[in-house]
Structure formats: C-alpha cells, structure tokens
Structure 1
Amino acid sequence: MSNSNFAKKGCRGCYACIRHCAVDAIVIKDGQADILKDRCILCGKCSKACPQHYRLEKTSFSAVKSLIKRGEKVIASIDPSFAAAFGDKSLKIPAALRKLGFSHVEDSSITTKPIFDIYNAYANKNDDQNYITSMCPSINHLIQKHYPELAICLIPVVSPYISHGRFLKRKYGSDNKVVFIEPCIAKKTDANNEICADEVITFYELQKWMNIENINLDELEIEPFDLVCNDKVLFPMPGETAKLIESKNPHKTVLCVNGIDDCKSVLNAIKDGKFENTFFEMNACDHGCLYGSDLNTDDRCFIEVKRDLLKNRAKYNELFKDKSEPNPYADMVLDIFLHKEYPPKPVKLKQPTEAEIQEILESMGRMTRYDELNCGNCGYSTCREKAIAVFNGLSEPSMCLPYMRDRAQSLSNVICECSPNLIGLIDKNLFIIELNPAAEAFFKIEKDEAKGMPLGMYLDDEEFENVKKFRKNVRNEKLTFEEYDNSTILQTIYWLEEYQMFLWLAVDITKDEKAQQKLQSMRVETMEIAQKVIDKQMTVAQEIASLLGETTAETKVTLTKLKNLILDEEGN
C-alpha cells in the first residue's frame, strides 16, 4: 500500500506535506512520512512543501549518461515549458542538450495536432456529456482514484509527450533511445509506464546535470531544434488548450480550470449534476506546466515566467522562420497508436459507525461539536474526516496539533500546579505575570493576588535587572527572608529572550536549613558536655594521683623503717 520515496531519516513531523496534500495520501508512521500509492496523484506538492526538501523521484540522468557513453543514439524530447524554465537562457537549451551528447533534440509539442483533432471531435459531439482533457496525468489520477464515477469523462487519448515518444520511435527506429525532459514528476512516472521512452528526467535534473558537466548557457550559441515546423505550437499555459478547441457545437461550452482545489470543486459540481454539455481543460498546477512540480522558476512570479515564455518563443520563431517546414509526422498519424483508456481506480475506505467516530473524536479531546475546530492542520478538512482517516489507519490522533498543544499545556499546568518548587513568570518591566501555588503559599498570598504586581514587593528586583542587562542567568542563589519567618530559598533566574520575560524558579530549603541549624546546635552542646566530662575526669584523675602519691610516700617511709629495724636486729 505504501510507496514512500521520502528520505528515511530526518522527518521532523511538521505535517507540512500532509497539509499540502489535496487527496490525503500521506500518513505519519513511526515518525516518518509515508506516501500511500493507491491515493497519490503525483502532484508533487508534498515534496515542494517539505522544509527538508525531500524529493519524491529518483534522479535518472546518470542512466542517460550511461546510454550516451555506450555510444547509443539518444534522442531528447523536451517539453515546451522549457522556454519558461530557464528564463532568458532558454534558447540555449538545444545547444546544451547536444553538448551533453544527445544526437537529436526535438520539442514534444510538434505532435499535438493529432491529439487536438481527437479533442475537437469530442468537443463537437452532439450530446449532453461532459468531457475532460487527459493532458495532465495528475488530473487523470485524481479522477480515476478519487472521482472514479467521472473517469468516463476523460477523453481516451494519450498526452502529447507520450505521442511524441511514439512518433520518435517510429521515425528514428525502435532501437534508438528516447529521453523525455519535462517539468513534473507525474509525467515522469507515467512516461516510465508507457511504451514511448527509455528514460525520463525533469528540468531540475537537467540543471543538476549541466552543473556537473560545467555547461554554462551564457557561453553557448542559440541553435534550433532538429525540426522546425509551421504547425500551431501548444503553449504550456493555462487556457491554451481551450483556445485551440474548435467547437462548432453552440451548446458545448469550453472552460479552463487550474489548480487541484479548483479542479476538485468543479468535479464535485459535475458529480452533483451542475454541469452538462461542457468541455473542460483541467490542469493540476495553478499555472499549468509553467509551474510544474519539478520546475525551478528562480523566484520569478507567474507573469514573469509567462512573459519569458512568450518572448523566447517569439524570438525563436523569428530567428528560425527560414528553417520552418511542414510537419513530417503528419504522414505517420494513422500508424501511431494514440488511444488510451482511463479506467476507474476507486480508493475504498471503511465507513465507521457514528459511535466509532465519536469514540475517535473523544480520543482527540473533541468531546462536543464545539470542540471540533476543523482547522485543517492535520491535512483533513474537518475533524470528522480526520476521525474516519484514523479509523482506516490513514492517520493517528496524535497528528491533531491543537489536541497535542492542549495536552502539552494541560500537562504543563499540572506540573506547575503540583510542583513543590516555587515557579514564577515576570515580564520585562518586572511585573508578575503568574506565580504557582507553591510560590503563593511561600509568600503567604491568595490565589492570583500577585498577578500584575511589581516584583519588588516580594523579591529583590535588582538581581533580575542584572540578569537581563548582562545576559547572565543566576543559579541556586541562597536567600533568607526575615519577614517570612526566616525562610530560606535557593533561587534561579532565567531571562527568556524569545518571550521577553523572566522565569523564576526556587527551592524552599527552610526545613533543611533549620534541621542543619539544629544539628549544629546539637553538635556544640555535645562538645560542651564532652568537655565537661573530660575536665571532670581529669580532676578525678589528678585527685587519685595525689592520693596515690601520698599513700606511696607513707608506705615507703614505713617500709624503710621496717627494713632498718630488721637490719639493726641482724647486726646485733
């Protein structure tokens, strides 16, 4: 089911691709954007919207280089929007392609006449049916997959770039290689599935290839294509197809619709029976192929791009009018197969019950109709559409930004409300924005009493001024407040430049301080008692020593007398 060609690393989960996808073909799984092949219409909007610039298609010019290097005859078929893609240097593109090694270079618009003959046949049908051009592959996919009941309205003929490839194969031989060079990934993908081209590269890839080969367009001469014919050329601008439709049916209206959103709106109207007997030119890109999904306009606005195309075309026609000749492909029309069916490819979604939808909505915090914001940030028009997508595994409740924001705020509030630490927000003018319950309890004030009050009523605001002035945060500064029962805190002050406010955090260490003081007092008292015991013991020891000394002296005198008596008796 998945056809993701996004890079597998670095997806930031910003949902930009989802918000820009008009057909809900992208899902985030495990933090990675994934493209659902059966829903994708290859419009390329997701790739353009991605801040990481992840591309959907793989580059193919290396394969083309290999063909040329092998000595193959490689023919370039370039989309006419090239005349706008490269600005004032567009007329140098034929020369650049030859320098890259292409043996022949042709403009794919020269085989549009047989396609317009078929379009005109449908525009002149005497019926009440609606018909839609099949030139834009993204529109074809949009109708086949998301409006399958209208697939019958698509005119069964190939796009001009496909017809040109088939003509080239007939003209130069099927063994020769044909390479399409075009402005969008839809044409690239579709052409790879048709028997008409061997490789396809986009204008983006062509520019990258020329940069690698150091081809400077300024240094090249203006050269014509291999074939300069005097047929009407289809300009890749919105409304040009409608202009070339020669409807002689007064009841058949010819209209041009551009941009996926407008095309969807019209398709919905056709489904509802609001149109009949109408011929529609439809383009997925807002300005047709001039703003193709892989075309770099160098920040030029649409009018500049259109001006460049018309100016370059006029200059080309003037420079090479002498080389103009009848279109040789006219003789091959009957031999080239141009028919193509566009069968319905409906995307089937399971439809949840109302109870299941409500359960999913509640899981996203949408308890009532009032809670359904229908903001579209998730890529779905309504919360109910989002719930159906969740039911089908195309989305997740966590992809609801308001829900995740509310949840984060709720968790933040719970943390602040329940935290035993003191927390405060102070504006740049040193007025209190908010204090949490622990801070209000510390300062012995009622709930919200401090809001809007000067910080100096509770704290030394000079410290805050210094933090802002010198951009040096204070961490774990010890403060004691005599007015609050000699309470002690460790305060931290942050200046939040982005929000132009202070964040004040503090830990009440009063109990620890008092416990420390009590422990210190006990230590001093114990030392005093110990000293008294020591002093008393020393006194006792001294007294004992004194008594022992007297007794010893008396004993010595007595024993000496006794000894002398014994000696006297022995002498007698």
Structure 2
Amino acid sequence: MGIIGLKAANCKNCYKCVKVCPVKSIKVEHAQAQIIERNCILCGTCLEQCPQNAKTLNSDVAAVKEMIGKGARVILSVAPSYVGSFDFDDVRKFAGAVKALGFFGVAETSMGAAYVTAEYHRLIKENRMENIITTCCPSANRLIEHYYPSLVDQMAPVVSPMIAHARLLKKIFGYGTRVIFVGPCIAKIDEAADIRHNNDVDAVITFDDLAGWLEEEHVVINDTQPASFLNPSSRILRMYPVTDGIIASLRSMGDTGDWKMLSVSGSAECIDLCKALERGDLRHCFIEINMCKDGCINGPISNRDAASRFSSSMKVRNYAAEDAGEYPNLPEQIPMEMRFVDCSVREDIPDEATIRMILAKIGKESPEDELNCGSCGYPTCRDKAVAVYQNKAELTMCMPYMKERAESLSNCVLTETPNITIIVDKDLNIIEFNTAAEKAFGISRHEALQKCIYEIMDSSDFEYAFDVKQSIPDKKVHFRDYEMTTMQTIVYIAKQNIAMGIYKDITREEAELESKYKLRSETMEMAQKVIDKQMIAAQQIASLLGETTAETKVTLTKLKNMIVFDGDEQ
C-alpha cells in the first residue's frame, strides 16, 4: 500500500497535483491522478495543495495504539518543530500530554541531531569530499538518489537525526523498546521502512495524527500534569527545523575550515542546486538542503496553516534561545554510517518523430503551435508529449486544445444545423446568427451581429422569454416578408441571461398540407355531386317504379275480379 492514497470520488480533473509536483511523479489515467510510487520523492506537496482533498495519507496510529495496548515500552521521538505546531505554555505539559496517551516517555529528536552534526563536523575536518550535502531530509535524499544519482558520492554518508535518535533510545532503554517518530514529514514514513535501517524506528505518525489522537482522548495539553523529557538537548540543536539550523549547529562545534556554507530550501531550489552540482558549478561547499521551504517547520503535515509559518519559525528560534547549555556530550557510541545508492528509474524517451506525432494529435503541427501554457501541469508541450508516451498523461489534459475542440464542435453544430438559430442578449442584440439564418433572412452574420432582433422580425416572443425567464416551446410563426413558415422554439438560458431562437423551416410542409387539403376538398366536392346525382336518379327510378306498380296492381285486381265474378254470373 502506498503512503499517499486517493479518494477517487474527489479527484475531478483539475491537474493541480501534476502542476505542483516537482518531479512529475503523478500519472493521470481516466482523468484521475495516481501517484507513481517508484518516482515519488514524498515531498507531500500534492497532499498539501490538493483543492478537493482527494489525496489521503496512510496512518500508523492504529499500530501504535496496539503496541501501547499490549504493554510495550513505547517512546515518542518528537521532531523539534513541534514547538511551532502545538499550543502550550510549558513544553513539559506537552510531555505530560503524550504520556497521558500511554507512552512510556517522550524525547526530542534533536539529541539524535547532536550525533549527526558531530559526524558532519568530522567530514569537514577530514576534508575528503568535493562537496558535502546534508542528509537529514529524506525527501531531498530521494530526489538525489532517484533523479540525480551522479551526486550520491557528494551526500554525507550519515543517517538522519530520526534514525540516530532511535538507535540511541534503544541502546539506553533496551532493544525491546518501541520508538515512534512524530513530525511534519511524510517522507519519514518511507525512511523508517527503508531496508537499510528498518529495525530502528517502529512507526511514524504526523503532527496531524498526534493532534487528532489528543482530541479523540480529550487530552488538552495545557491542562495536563507537566512531565520531564527522557533526554536533554542543547539549544542549538533545536534549530534543525529552520533555515540555517544545521549550519548553526555545525558552527557551534568550532572550526569549519575554509568550507563555504550554503542553505537551500524548497523543491525548485533543491532541483536547481542539483543541476548546478551536476554542472560542476560548486566546489568545497557544505550544503544544508531541505525540500520544504524555510525548513521542517513548513512540513506538509505540520498541524498549522501556511499563514502561521512565520510565527512557527519564531517559536522554534525562541525555544532554542531559552537553553544556554553547551553542546551536549555524546556518551553513547551508535552506528552513524549510511550508504546512498543510485535508485533512478530509467524511462523510455521518445524520438523526435514520435514527439511530433503526439503533438499533432492535439493540434500542434509545428513549434509555433506549442503554447507551453502549463495548464496540463507540464512546463512545455514537449514535456507533456513525453509524458503521454510514457503513459503518465492523457492527450485530453491539453486545455487549449480541448477548448478549441469544444468550440470547433460547437461552431460546427451551430453552423451546419439546417435549423435557423439566432441568439440574443437581454438587450435584444443579436450575438449569434448561423448560416441557415443568413440564407433565410438574406443578410450576412457580420451584418446581423450589428442589429437587434426586432430589426429583422417581431421580437415579442423574445421579450416575453426574458420577462418570465422561461423558454417558449413549439410555436408556429409565419414570416410574410420572407414567405416562410417556421416552427419556433425559444430557449431561455438563465446562466448567461440569453435567449436562443431555433426555427425549423416548415414552409414546404405547410404547402404540402395545403395542397393535400385542397385535394381533399375537391375530392369531397366531386363525391358530393355524384351522391346528389345518384339520389336524383334513385328518386326518379322510384317514382317510375311507383307508377308502374300502381298500374300493375289495378290491372291484376281487375283480372282477378273478372275470374271470380265470371263464375257467379253463370
């Protein structure tokens, strides 16, 4: 499971994380961002700046609670920047609050920093390295190992204060002790799990985790009983979380020779530094490097908003100034060596023909078409094309291209539709006039856009639509001046406060209906005449039949009487 997770339902096609990721270790697939773990340097910028809170961070709090619940001796190693991340009037109350959660005790990681600084000072004295890059920031270490491996031999071969402190605590309190680190850095989670020293720190939680845990247990720091820290730390070592803090601690140990001191913070500056070192621009420099701007006090999970970073820095500096003690003694011997290696991932780079083919798919046929606007998250269109080739990005991430495509499709539909389409604004000014309208009304689009709708037709329906803010469906409208009959639909679009009139020309259909009606009328008239004639004929026939029948009756009656009465007379 990765350290940074994703809430798929919240990831909404914004590409903000791609834009802010300093090494572009984010893959966009099906319009959603996914961390490429093998390339991620765990700076936490995407987690911190995601506008939809779609990024999540996996937490070890449950595992720590389980350790405490099973009765293990659990010690919290706390990064010095805690002073700027939590509110309290006495640091001992912070220790008391931590113990109230069930920890055996709490100790400042700055004691481990004392051993680290001593190692840095030894390297300076030995004067064997071309440059010395500090290795306290695991995110900066990942940057170099994964992206600038040629600089590995310039990294101080020394573990971080977190690892040094964990080793120190386990040596003092027993190797069965569980050491939990808490700080503002998510890269520490990966550092703790690194196979090179994965038996030293048993779990890593963030300041946010700790704040949530305290709230869950209803522990208010200022209301707790004060407690002592398990180990002392010198004031100068508490400066580690702020800019120049490592250099200040180094100078406190004495002579640093003719080494030039340089402090670099922020992902962009760190990348620029690495490029400068690769070019050979720097020589004989001791370089304090930190991926977070102004140091660890601005870690991505610092339990503070960005506006408080200045006050946080002041709190840390003031806290360091409270203790006037000397540089602490280092009574214990602990292993401090760290070996850094080339961890780079080789990516396939497309040739020029492939890049041009990919660019052509998004309408960039030549270099002049390459806007390099950065809306996709990549600095140039070519970088985006390379990312598409490496299956990290999608073609549809190009905003100008998608906008042009959408407009082109929209214009195509509007232009090619056989229906007359006219769009007017609330002042009845014509703002769109398609090809069918040009043909029907005999004026060009350019001319129509200079007119109001009432200059070419009765505008009462448009006015009514704006008044009631409703559409008017299917209404037959006859334009006498243009010898045209239409079926009109006026669509009111509230968001833009415009009305779109769509007219289907039904002139031919109406003529056909009229012709059919005329034919039916003529047919009915002819049928009626036939019926009338038939009725007259029938009446005449009936009359003739009536007379004949009467005469026949009289004759037959006479004949019958003659027969009957002839016998009687005899």
Normalised by the length of structure 1, the TM-score is 0.91
Alignment-derived partner of residue 94 in structure 2: 93
2:209 pairs with 1:205: yes
- Residues 261 and 192 (structure 1 numbering): CA distance in 2 closer, same or farther, change over 3 Å? same
Cα offset, 1:436, TM superposition: 1.3
AA paired with 1:294?
I
Cα offset, 1:223, TM superposition: 4.6
Q: Within 5 Å, which residues of 2 pair with 1:378-527?
A: 378-497=376-495, 499-527=496-524
Alignment-derived partner of residue 368 in structure 2: 370
**Segment drifting more, 144-153 vs 291-300:** 291-300
Alignment-derived partner of residue 104 in structure 1: 105
**Segment drifting more, 186-195 vs 246-255:** 246-255
Cα offset, 1:83, TM superposition: 1.0
- Secondary structure at the counterpart of residue 178 of structure 1: strand
- Secondary structure at the counterpart of residue 424 of structure 2: strand
Alignment-derived partner of residue 558 in structure 2: 561
- Secondary structure at the counterpart of residue 504 of structure 1: strand
- Aligned equivalents of 1:301 and 1:127: distance in 2? 41
Cα offset, 1:94, TM superposition: 2.3
Alignment-derived partner of residue 195 in structure 1: 199
Equivalent pair of 1:179/1:201 in contact (CA under 8 Å): yes
Alignment-derived partner of residue 301 in structure 2: 294
Alignment-derived partner of residue 249 in structure 2: 244
Q: CA RMSD, aligned part only? A: 2.7
- Secondary structure at the counterpart of residue 452 of structure 1: coil
Cα offset, 1:138, TM superposition: 0.8
- Aligned equivalents of 2:233 and 2:290: distance in 1? 26
- Aligned equivalents of 2:268 and 2:489: distance in 1? 56
Indicate which of 273, 283, 295 corresponds to 2:280.
Answer: 273
- Residues 544 and 99 (structure 1 numbering): CA distance in 2 closer, same or farther, change over 3 Å? farther
Alignment-derived partner of residue 537 in structure 1: 534
AA paired with 2:162?
Y
Normalised by the length of structure 2, the TM-score is 0.91
Cα offset, 1:224, TM superposition: 4.2
Cα-to-partner distance string for 1:13-72 (whole Å, 9 max, x where unaligned): 221111111112111123332222221101111222323313343122112112222222
- Residues 486 and 420 (structure 1 numbering): CA distance in 2 closer, same or farther, change over 3 Å? closer
**Segment drifting more, 558-567 vs 387-396:** 387-396
- Aligned equivalents of 2:327 and 2:131: distance in 1? 34
Equivalent pair of 2:489/2:503 in contact (CA under 8 Å): yes
- Secondary structure at the counterpart of residue 447 of structure 2: coil
- Secondary structure at the counterpart of residue 307 of structure 2: coil
Alignment-derived partner of residue 263 in structure 2: 256
- Aligned equivalents of 2:326 and 2:66: distance in 1? 34
Cα-to-partner distance string for 1:446-500 (whole Å, 9 max, x where unaligned): 2422113222213444544443444333333432222221422322222342x45
- Residues 42 and 451 (structure 1 numbering): CA distance in 2 closer, same or farther, change over 3 Å? same
AA paired with 2:79?
D
- Residues 412 and 114 (structure 1 numbering): CA distance in 2 closer, same or farther, change over 3 Å? same
AA paired with 2:110?
S
AA paired with 1:307?
M
- Secondary structure at the counterpart of residue 43 of structure 1: coil
**Structure 2 stretches lacking a partner, 5+ long:** none
Alignment-derived partner of residue 306 in structure 1: 313
Q: Within 5 Å, which residues of 2 pair with 1:65-104?
A: 65-87=65-87, 91=91, 92-104=93-105
AA paired with 1:289?
C
Equivalent pair of 2:163/2:200 in contact (CA under 8 Å): yes
Cα-to-partner distance string for 1:67-94 (whole Å, 9 max, x where unaligned): 2222222211111111111245784432
Cα offset, 1:112, TM superposition: 1.0
Equivalent pair of 2:133/2:286 in contact (CA under 8 Å): yes
- Secondary structure at the counterpart of residue 142 of structure 2: helix
Cα offset, 1:444, TM superposition: 1.9
- Aligned equivalents of 1:442 and 1:2: distance in 2? 63
Alignment-derived partner of residue 177 in structure 2: 176
- Residues 214 and 440 (structure 1 numbering): CA distance in 2 closer, same or farther, change over 3 Å? farther
- Residues 106 and 474 (structure 1 numbering): CA distance in 2 closer, same or farther, change over 3 Å? farther
- Residues 545 and 183 (structure 1 numbering): CA distance in 2 closer, same or farther, change over 3 Å? same
Cα-to-partner distance string for 1:280-315 (whole Å, 9 max, x where unaligned): 11111112111112223135343233234345666x
- Aligned equivalents of 1:137 and 1:466: distance in 2? 67
Cα offset, 1:357, TM superposition: 1.8
- Aligned equivalents of 1:485 and 1:22: distance in 2? 66
AA paired with 1:63?
A
Q: Within 5 Å, which residues of 2 pair with 1:108-257?
A: 108-126=109-127, 129-193=130-194, 194-217=198-221, 219-220=223-224, 223-230=227-234, 232-235=236-239, 236-246=241-251, 248=255, 251-257=258-264
Equivalent pair of 1:258/1:282 in contact (CA under 8 Å): yes
AA paired with 1:239?
D
- Aligned equivalents of 1:27 and 1:436: distance in 2? 42
- Aligned equivalents of 2:500 and 2:215: distance in 1? 51
**Segment drifting more, 148-157 vs 421-430:** 421-430
- Aligned equivalents of 1:424 and 1:243: distance in 2? 72
AA paired with 1:272?
R
- Aligned equivalents of 2:429 and 2:508: distance in 1? 29
Cα-to-partner distance string for 1:486-521 (whole Å, 9 max, x where unaligned): 422322222342x45444333333333333343344
**Count of aligned positions:** 562
Cα offset, 1:183, TM superposition: 0.6
- Residues 249 and 228 (structure 1 numbering): CA distance in 2 closer, same or farther, change over 3 Å? closer
Cα offset, 1:525, TM superposition: 3.5
Equivalent pair of 1:26/1:33 in contact (CA under 8 Å): yes
Equivalent pair of 1:83/1:90 in contact (CA under 8 Å): no
**Structure 1 stretches lacking a partner, 5+ long:** none
